[in-house]
Amino acid sequence: MVGASRDGNVKTLQKLEKSLEAGNYYEAQQRIKTLHARYLAAKNYAASLDLLHSGATMQLKHDQVTCGVELGILFVETLGKAGRKYDAAALEQIKVLGSSFPRMHVSSTDRRKLIKSSESYLNAKSRAEGFNSFMRAAIRWCIETGGPTRGPKELHDMLSEYMWTQCPDLDLNKAAPHFVRSGHPERYAQAVIEYMIECDPEEVDLVLARSVLLYLTFGNLRDANFLVTEVKAALGDDKYPSSPLMQFIKYLLLTLERDALPLLHTLRENYKDHLQRDPLLVEVVHCFSGSATRALAISQGIDHSLLQLQYVDNIAERFYGEQRKTGLQRVFGDFIKMFSE
């Protein structure tokens, strides 16, 4: 029966391809969804997954991102309904779908010149949002079914690269939380450098501070130091930001190299006025989880004020084992577990 269904899928997909070639995208989409519903009712998950994966790939090949994303997310949901556990084969299927998304090949400078009401801008924005939705659904499935605790590095790498190079707005926040999970600090460093060159000169030190703290969110002191070294080498002494906030970052990294918890609290107190320059750092908002959480919250419309966890308290917990006293993290436990465990 399963073999017959798959043979039927081959014929169906051949017909769907012809329909797509003729520009009948909606008709093809409805046909795929109807067959998917029938397969689900019969618990024929293998045939359904094959249909959805092939259908999503074909729609994306024809630049039908909305249709492709819908089928891609249905594919991920069906993996869950089928009781499928995370494995290399499923990961590869997800990567194939991610690689099928259409792209624009323009520099960051050219992207900044796109008129926000133009068709090119709106299409690029739609593609990026669709890619983000699909990949985050896939990462969540991986985490929940036995995959890496923070999600597969390969998927974070794909997501960070796409969001950084394909978003029509040069916005590091959407890519940063995935850069730090990708296992490629050199790529994140390059993105940070590019962003620092393009952004408002008065914001340069804030960009670097956020990026360093984001690495520290995950206890990754090595890559936080690597990032600072790479930025210094790229910008040179004359362009590397010099400010009290940068002094805080310098002393913070040195402090975390040793058993110096009291010094950590001293730093928090001495630099609190400078940390208040930005809502992310307000009230010495050294939210050690909040940097990653807020960056993701920005794209979800979540109230940032509810995610104002204490950075230094979290640093103390991560590096020195000092328990935090706030119960706010428990309130957002599921959210934080997904994106910053």
Domain coordinates of the chain in residue numbers? 200-341
Q: Categorise residue 83: left if φ over 0, alpha if ψ from -120 to 50, beta otherwise.
A: left
Cβ count near 33 (within 10 Å): 17
Model confidence pTM above 0.85: no
Give the mean pLDDT of the chain: 82
Query: Comparing 85-89, 139-143, 199-203, which segment has the lowest mean pLDDT?
Result: 199-203
Taking residues 317-335, what's their average pLDDT?
Answer: 47
The residue that leads in pLDDT, 42 or 285, is: 42
pLDDT-derived band at 322 (thresholds 50, 70, 90) equals low
* 205 Cβ contact list (under 8 Å, min separation 6): 241, 243, 245, 246
The answer, yes or no, to whether residue 89 has pLDDT greater than 80, is yes
Q: Categorise residue 246: left if φ over 0, alpha if ψ from -120 to 50, beta otherwise.
A: alpha
The answer, yes or no, to whether residue 126 has pLDDT greater than 90, is yes
The answer, yes or no, to whether residue 179 has pLDDT greater than 90, is yes
Q: Residue 26 burial (CB < 10 Å; 0-12/13-18/19+)?
A: exposed
What does the block give as tokens for 205?
């030190």
pLDDT score recorded for residue 5: 54
Q: Convert the pLDDT of each residue in 142-157 to its tens digit.
A: 999 999 999 999 999 9
